[in-house]
Structure 1
Amino acid sequence: MPADTALVIVALALALAVLALAVIGIGSLCWLALQLLVLPGVVVHEFAHKQACDLVGVPVLEVAYFRFGDPSGYVRHAQPDRYRKSFVISVAPFLVNTVVSLAAFLGVAILVTTVVESPLSLESLADFRTASSEWVVLTAVLGWLGVAVGMQAFPSTGDANTLWVRSRAEWRRSPVVLLGVPVVFVIYVVNLLSWLWADVVYALALGLLAFYAVGVVAL
């Protein structure tokens, strides 16, 4: 093999290796950034599971409110003896995360009204230049909490699997269990649509609702 050809091959191999390392590095940084972005939402989600277990009297075996891994958090508990207990534990994060996210967005909306006139318009956007640095930081933190917690509102497919197994096992003995099947279906669909950013859309919808409630935006 000619020396020039060998040098070209070696150079291409080194270039591909550097490119692969760069892609892996960028991918890892993006994964780490996403983990940090949703951290508050994961903590609230698992906290809701934990509190629901305590509420219905189901012993909790192990809790990880957040960790760098898959899943990002979990609550392991004993098997509930009744379907309604499984249902409460599974759907608790949806209620808790929604309320916390909405409260954070309401805080953002109220802060916005202290700087600009309501409803918000293109002309009033210039008023943001008068905002203090403290205002900017507090608004950013509340906005981050609203998005992060809202994104983690929906139960996981693991929660849906638990309800589905219980539904199949108990519906003959207690037909009222069938009322929970549509909830299971919705959970599966939402988790499937998360690839299309359905969780982000839900969080932003909560923000829009908060802004509308305070009068920052007019629909």
Structure 2
Amino acid sequence: MLPEPLLSALLLVLITALIVAVIAGLGTVLWVTLQLASAPGVVVHEFAHALACRLTGVRIREVVYFRFGDPAGYVRHEQPKRYLDAFVIGVAPFLVNTVVAFGALLGFADFVTTTGIVTPADGVLPAVDTSGASNELLAGTAVLGWLGLVIGVHAFPSTGDANALWAQTRTRWRRSPLVLLGIPFVLVVYVVSLLSWLWADVLYAIGLLLLAFAVVGSPLV
């Protein structure tokens, strides 16, 4: 029979291993859940890149709209022949995601306002009352809000988008000095992509939500 101190040590190791396994399992479940929840934003982001490629005539080599990995999606294409084409491809997701997200959030704000789900309360804070809405309406409204927010979060260009645009600027400015006019935009793309680490992309989506409520005249704003 093993000595008692050794048995205690083995038991401690087993308990520690079990706790680590549980935490790792929960972390994996949480990661997969977050990936699936954000999938619509990734899909629209990559669709915008692909659409810009087709509109500018840049040949697409491979498109992955969503996957479990880093990056969660990507578009591989040939080098654009014109700087303008590269610029359009780089900034397309910001425009497309913003428009799609704002449209979904407008629908969400309109539903919760006109159906009475959100009503004024003593002129201070809005009150939420879901008793008069059907389950189908509540589900549809929730889906619109979720789609609007996750698509809005993914409106910001990625670091890869910024790198690709900077590479185009660096290699073309000697042949076409007009490319230098695009440098401020490239810097903005870099700054915006870096600000994503500070949750600026989430704040942007929330800003779109508040703007949508303001447009429909909701008591939220």
Which TM-score band (shorter chain)?
over 0.9
For 1:30 and 1:191, locate their aligned partners in 2 and report how far apart those are by CA, in whole Å: 24
Cα distance change of structure 1 residues 117 and 143 upon mapping to structure 2, 3 Å threshold: closer
Instruction: Please state how far the C-alpha of 1:72 moved relative to its aligned partner.
Output: 0.9
Percent identity, aligned pairs only, is: 56
Residue of structure 1 in register with 2:37 after alignment: 37
Residue of structure 1 in register with 2:217 after alignment: 215
Is 1:101 the equivalent of 2:97? no
Residue of structure 2 in register with 1:177 after alignment: 179
For 1:217 and 1:64, locate their aligned partners in 2 and report how far apart those are by CA, in whole Å: 41
**Any idea what the Cα deviations from partners look like across 1:105-149, whole Å, max 9, x if unmatched?**
00001101222288x533552533212111110111001100110
Which secondary structure state, in structure 2, belongs to the residue aligned with residue 173 of structure 1? Answer: coil
Residue of structure 2 in register with 1:122 after alignment: 121
Is 1:161 the equivalent of 2:177? no
Matched AA of 1:149: I
**Any idea what the Cα deviations from partners look like across 1:39-78, whole Å, max 9, x if unmatched?**
1011111111111000000011111111111111111111
Instruction: Please state how far the C-alpha of 1:9 moved relative to its aligned partner.
Output: 0.7
- The within-5 A match list for 1:181-200 is 181-200=183-202
Which secondary structure state, in structure 1, belongs to the residue aligned with residue 130 of structure 2? Answer: helix
For 2:139 and 2:127, locate their aligned partners in 1 and report how far apart those are by CA, in whole Å: 18
For 1:56 and 1:111, locate their aligned partners in 2 and report how far apart those are by CA, in whole Å: 37
Matched AA of 2:99: V
Matched AA of 1:215: G
The 10-residue stretch of structure 1 (183-192 or 93-102) with the greater mean CA deviation from structure 2: 183-192
CA RMSD in angstroms, aligned pairs only: 1.8
- The TM-score, its normalising length taken from structure 2, stands at 0.92
Residue of structure 2 in register with 1:71 after alignment: 71
Instruction: Please state how far the C-alpha of 1:184 moved relative to its aligned partner.
Output: 2.1
The 10-residue stretch of structure 1 (206-215 or 172-181) with the greater mean CA deviation from structure 2: 172-181
Residue of structure 1 in register with 2:111 after alignment: 111
Aligned residues: 217
Matched AA of 2:67: R
Residue of structure 2 in register with 1:3 after alignment: 3
The structure with the largest helix share of the pair is: 1
For 1:217 and 1:87, locate their aligned partners in 2 and report how far apart those are by CA, in whole Å: 40
For 2:220 and 2:15, locate their aligned partners in 1 and report how far apart those are by CA, in whole Å: 54
CA contact (8 A) 1:115 1:127 kept: no
Instruction: Please state how far the C-alpha of 1:8 moved relative to its aligned partner.
Output: 1.4
For 1:117 and 1:150, locate their aligned partners in 2 and report how far apart those are by CA, in whole Å: 23
- The TM-score, its normalising length taken from structure 1, stands at 0.92
CA contact (8 A) 1:115 1:128 kept: no
Instruction: Please state how far the C-alpha of 1:22 moved relative to its aligned partner.
Output: 1.4
**Any idea what the Cα deviations from partners look like across 1:168-214, whole Å, max 9, x if unmatched?**
12223322222322222222222222222111111111111111011
Instruction: Please state how far the C-alpha of 1:218 moved relative to its aligned partner.
Output: 6.2
For 2:154 and 2:117, locate their aligned partners in 1 and report how far apart those are by CA, in whole Å: 32
